[in-house]
Amino acid sequence: MNKLNNLIGFIGIGIMGKPMARNLIKAGYKLIIYDINIGLLEELKKDGASIASSILEIGSKCSTIITMLPNSPESKEVILGEKGLIRTAKKNTLIIDMSSIDPIVSIEMGKKLSAKSIDFLDAPVSGGENGAINGTLAIMVGGKKEVFNRAIPLFKIMGSSHILVGKIGAGNFAKLSNQIIVAVNIAAVSEALILAKKAGLPLISLCNAIKGGLAGSKVLDSKAPMMIDKNFTPGFKIKLHKKDMQNVLNAGSSLNIPLPLSAQLLEILKSLTSSGNGELDHSGIVKFYENISGVKIM
């Protein structure tokens, strides 16, 4: 992929999209960007990006387009809507939706784009804001192998791993599987810390004692210190994890399988969001356990 001759479109300059786009600019790619938040666009303009007047403009000018949006309705509107990319994108354009959305929607978008001879990948990520900033995201991809190969140079800049999991939709099924494991792990760490606190154990010593065994995990290493320090500055917000877990349940329903732990975690995340904690990092799940137990971590 020629960095100088190919203009990359990037739609969605939020917590994740902004550092991802910035890393592409730093690597020498020419970007044209769009977001409904004009202030975010101006920040990347200083880094060398061009600002598009509309989604239609990006569709008409770019052979490769990345979207990083909040949820399924936004992805569907940007890609398939009346003013969406499908209206102006040329044949053989590559659209990479890196949003975490319902995989059934990814499959629908892929079919409609394919009918217009537009290539598509669903490529959600894991790693939070720090991973986006450091270019160490884990990228889970669904699509055709030859289309995936076109995107590898970009994936190498934005992430430390990029795995083709299967056909379109597989990327988001993989991301939902990831989100189940992360949510359940955070809840387990929260519950364990509440137990240890009530028993009078020093929590830092507890974490050091168990992290070398089977209980050790990236969640324990990264989220337990945040819980102990009451530092809930978001790397990934509770309200976004709630969205993902709702998509998990939707996917489970479409496949007619029970997901009891996921259902319980969704209710926990709903409770936290309705009580005003939706903007906190998902390590804030510990607040639910504090509330029901009457035990404060610190």
* CB 258 within 8 Å of CB 292: no
Per DSSP, the three-state class of 124 is: coil
d(CA 233, CA 280): 6
Residues of the chain with CATH 1.10.1040.10: 174-293
For 147-167, the pLDDT digits (tens) are 999 999 999 999 999 999 999
Please tell me the predicted confidence (pLDDT) of residue 38. Answer: 86
Q: What is the per-residue DSSP string for 236-257?
A: SBHHHHHHHHHHHHHHHHHHT-
Residues of the chain with CATH 3.40.50.720: 7-168
Per DSSP, the three-state class of 201 is: coil
- For residue 141, which phi and psi values (nearest 5 degrees)? -125, 140
**Domain 7-168 falls under CATH 3.90.180.10:** no
List, in sequence order, every residue forming a beta bridge with 137; answer none if it has no partner: 159
For 238-281, the pLDDT digits (tens) are 999 999 999 999 999 999 999 999 999 999 999 999 999 999 99
Residues designated as active site: 175
Q: Chain centroid to CA 140: how far?
A: 10
Pick from 143, 182, 137, 184: nearest CA to 160: 137
Domain spanning 174-293, CATH architecture:
Orthogonal Bundle (1.10)
For 215-231, the pLDDT digits (tens) are 999 999 999 999 999 99
For 53-96, the pLDDT digits (tens) are 999 999 999 999 999 999 999 999 999 999 999 999 999 999 99
